[in-house]
Amino acid sequence: MSGLPVLIAGGGIGGLATAVALARKGIASIALERNPAFDEIGAGIQLGPNALAVLDLIGAGGRVRERLIPVGYLEIRDALEGRRLIRLDLRGAFRERFAAGYGVIHRGDLLKALYETCLASDRILLVPSAEIADWEEHPDGVEARGADGRRWNGRCLIAADGLHSRFRQRIVGDGDPIPSGHATFRCLIPPERMPEHCRVDGAVLWAGPDCHLVHYPLKDREVYNAVITVNDGSTDIARGEPVPDADVRRLFDRVGDQARAFLDAGTGWRRWTLRDREPADTWVKGRAALLGDAAHPMLQYAAQGACTAIEDAAVLADRLADDADPGAALDRYAAERRDRTARVQRLSRWLATEVYHPSAASAKRRDAMLLGLDEERLLDHLTWLYTPFGGTA
Ligand X SMILES: Cc1cc2nc3c(=O)[nH]c(=O)nc-3n(C[C@H](O)[C@H](O)[C@H](O)COP(=O)(O)OP(=O)(O)OC[C@H]3O[C@@H](n4cnc5c(N)ncnc54)[C@H](O)[C@@H]3O)c2cc1C
**CB nearer to ligand X: pick between 303 and 352:** 303
**CB nearer to ligand X: pick between 115 and 196:** 115
* Minimum gap (Å) between residue 86 Cβ and ligand X: 18
Q: For residue 334, state whether it binds ligand X (rule: CB under 6 A).
A: no
Residue 342 CA from chain centroid, whole number? 14
Is residue 355 within 8 Å of residue 60, measured between CB atoms? no
**CB nearer to ligand X: pick between 349 and 367:** 349
Is residue 72 within 8 Å of residue 89, measured between CB atoms? yes
Build a one-symbol-per-residue string for 230-269: x at contacts with ligand X by CB under 6 A, - elsewhere.
----------------------------------------
Upper half-sphere CA count for residue 51 (Cβ side, 13 Å): 26
* Minimum gap (Å) between residue 258 Cβ and ligand X: 22
Binders of ligand X in range 144-203 (CB under 6 A): 160-163, 166, 184
Per the DSSP assignment, residues forming a β-bridge with 224 are 189, 217
Q: Give the whole-angstrom CA distance, residue 124 versus residue 146.
A: 19
Per the DSSP assignment, residues forming a β-bridge with 179 are 275
Q: For residue 273, state whether it binds ligand X (rule: CB under 6 A).
A: no
Select the span of 33-41, 70-78, 232-240, 340-348 touching ligand X (CB under 6 A): 33-41
Q: For residue 109, state whether it binds ligand X (rule: CB under 6 A).
A: no
Q: Give the residue among 310, 302, 76, 91 at the shortest CA–CA distance from 203.
A: 76
Q: For residue 217, state whether it binds ligand X (rule: CB under 6 A).
A: no
Is residue 291 within 8 Å of residue 309, measured between CB atoms? yes
**CB nearer to ligand X: pick between 119 and 368:** 119
Q: Which of 5, 7, 14, 103 binds ligand X (CB under 6 A)?
A: 14
The angle at the Cα of 302, spanning 99 to 94, to the nearest 5 degrees, equals: 25
Is residue 144 within 8 Å of residue 127, measured between CB atoms? no
The one-letter amino acid code at 141 reads G
* Minimum gap (Å) between residue 10 Cβ and ligand X: 3
**CB nearer to ligand X: pick between 56 and 323:** 56
Q: For residue 11, state whether it binds ligand X (rule: CB under 6 A).
A: yes
Q: What is the DSSP string of 69-123?
A: B--SEEEEEETTT--EEEEEESSHHHHHH-TT--EEEEHHHHHHHHHHHHHT-TT
Q: For residue 50, state whether it binds ligand X (rule: CB under 6 A).
A: no
Q: For residue 272, state whether it binds ligand X (rule: CB under 6 A).
A: yes
Q: Which of 19, 45, 183, 320 binds ligand X (CB under 6 A)?
A: 45
Q: Which of 27, 132, 156, 329 binds ligand X (CB under 6 A)?
A: 132
The one-letter amino acid code at 129 reads S
* Minimum gap (Å) between residue 365 Cβ and ligand X: 26
Q: Give the whole-angstrom CA distance, residue 172 versus residue 161.
A: 14
Residues that bind ligand X (CB under 6 A): 9-15, 32-35, 45-46, 131-132, 160-163, 166, 184, 227, 272, 292-294, 300, 303-307, 309
